Amino acid sequence: MESVVRLRHTAAMSVAVTLRGLRKTFGPVTAVAGVDLEILDGQFFAMLGPSGSGKTTVLRMIAGFETPTEGQILLNGEDVTGRPPFARDVNTVFQDYALFPHMSVLQNVAYGLRVKKVPRAEIRTRAQEALEIVRLPGFGDRGPHQLSGGQRQRVALARALVNRPRVLLLDEPLGALDLKLRREMQIELKQMQRDLGITFVFVTHDQEEALTMSDRIAIFRDGVIEQVASPVELYEEPATPFVAGFVGTSNLLEGEVAQTLVGLPGPVSIRPEKITLRPGRTDLGADGDRCVATGVVTEVVYLGASTHSVVDLDGGGRLTVLQQNLESSHTHALERRGAPVTLSWQRSHVVSLGPPSSSLPATELHHLEEKR
């Protein structure tokens, strides 16, 4: 669409958002303990972490709703640390949508343009274009109460896009949707972002959501960044025990158990789907490329597409194994409780983990990420 072309930016590899030594305290509480970060123009960038990890506070500082205690915020190379929200080339989409109930959909979308005193004819054209981008053409005369949750979310997105921001900030915008609709909107949001070429900065605590949508992800914990990487890198090469446990499911081993199973003192991570499970105690023989352990199944969880088995190992320790349910019958898997089994995995699938990055300064974390 013509409107999409006008919204696209050419400097695809320039830096859209730069954070330098960003800190935020609320009285005695440190919400953000020192963050250095660069987000490239045109990226779908997610800030992922548990509640209270600092990710939303960082987003609000980028938007201008919170003032940093220390540090700088640069948007497209310009220092905007002291600027109010309306003076920054960003817009924010919130979880609760914040639509005006007394206005039509078109009036909601056009509101920001009216505040900026854009000519009336241009307001209507741009508002209609924004509704087309979010796949709601013809919905302009409806009221917010006449829309579904997914449609209201799209209107909120159109209201932000109509201002043609360089950076769009999204604060858990899919959190109020049911699971099926949320998954549909994840794909649609990613497609919109790719078409528009706008930098999206997306805050979520949902790891699957971040992995599905993002080009790059920053993992937050206790006000600092544990790791910044692509979804594949985060999952396959987690840098710390926290990242390994938070992004997906992982078997975390250390000490004597890690030394016995993989020949390393730990901490190490093995993803459950990387482990092969065979019935009975079988002497497969460990070698340079493969690790082997025997044990007893203590729990089986059937999840439809897959089955999770928890195995207590004969030599101490416990591993979780994930198997895809390729056969139509699940009876055999569910009857496995109490049965002896043999587990094996490739040594190349064992990931050595470093210490939590909260012990390192944020600037060093940034350099470590660049060297990966």
**Would residue 364 count as lying in a domain?**
no
99 with 71, same domain: the answer is: yes
DSSP 361: -
pLDDT value for 195: 86
> Cα separation of 170 and 105, whole Å?
20
Assess whether pLDDT exceeds 70 at residue 357: no
φ/ψ of residue 284, rounded to 5? -75, -30
Please check whether residue 314 lies inside any domain of the structure.
yes
Q: Which of 243, 276, 310 is the last residue of a domain?
A: 243
CA distance 308 to 330: 12
Do 170 and 108 meet the contact criterion of CB atoms below 8 Å apart? no
Q: Residue 201's pLDDT is what?
A: 96
Distance, C-alpha 280 to centroid of its chain: 40
The pLDDT tens digits for 63-104 are: 999 999 999 999 999 999 999 998 999 999 887 778 899 999
Q: Give a yes or no: residue 363 inside a domain.
A: no
Quote the domain boundaries for residue 322: 247-352
pLDDT band at 347 (very low <50, low <70, confident <90, very high): very high
- 125/264 same-domain check: no
What pLDDT score was predicted for residue 333?
A: 60
Residues 92 and 147 in one domain: yes
Decide if 74 is inside a domain.
yes
For 326-342, the pLDDT digits (tens) are 876 555 666 678 899 99
Q: Are residues 32 and 172 in the same domain?
A: yes
Residues 265 and 230 in one domain: no
The tens digit of pLDDT for each residue in 12-26 reads 469 999 999 999 999
In this predicted structure, which of 85-94, 171-180, 217-226 has the lowest mean pLDDT?
171-180
CA separation for the pair 351, 270 (Å, rounded) = 7
- List pLDDT tens digits, range 117-134: 889 889 999 999 999 988
Q: Is 314 found in the same domain as 192?
A: no
Number of H helices, E strands in the chain: 12, 18
Q: Which of 28-42, 290-304, 351-365 has the highest mean pLDDT?
A: 28-42
Residue 167: the pLDDT is 94
Q: Which residues contact 238 (CB under 8 A, 6 or more apart)?
A: 227, 244, 247, 250, 269, 351, 353
Please report the pLDDT score of residue 7 as a whole number. Answer: 41
**pLDDT tens per residue, range 238-267:** 999 999 999 988 999 988 899 888 888 879
Cα-based torsion angle of the residue sequence 347, 348, 350, 355 in order, rounded to the nearest 10 degrees: 130
Query: Residue 262: which CATH number?
Result: 2.40.50.100
Residue 223 placed within a domain: yes
Confidence class for position 372, pLDDT limits 50, 70, 90:
very low
Residues 6+ apart with CB under 8 A from 17: 37, 38, 39, 45, 62, 73, 74, 75, 167, 199, 201
Task: Indicate the SS3 state at residue 92.
Answer: strand
Helix (H, G, I), strand (E, B) or coil at 259: helix
Alpha helical stretches, state H, the chain: 2-7, 55-63, 105-115, 120-133, 149-161, 179-196, 207-213, 231-236, 241-246, 255-262, 331-334, 362-371
CATH number assigned to the domain comprising residue 126: 3.40.50.300
Domains held by the chain: number: 2
Amino acid 330: pLDDT: 56
Choose among 271, 279, 320: nearest CA to 299: 320
pLDDT at 8 over 50: no
- To the nearest whole percent, how much of the chain has pLDDT over 70? 89
* pLDDT tens by residue, 45-60: 999 999 999 999 999 9
Q: What is the pLDDT of residue 2?
A: 36
Question: Last residue of some domain: 210, 243, 276?
Answer: 243
Here the tokens at position 100 are 């005006």
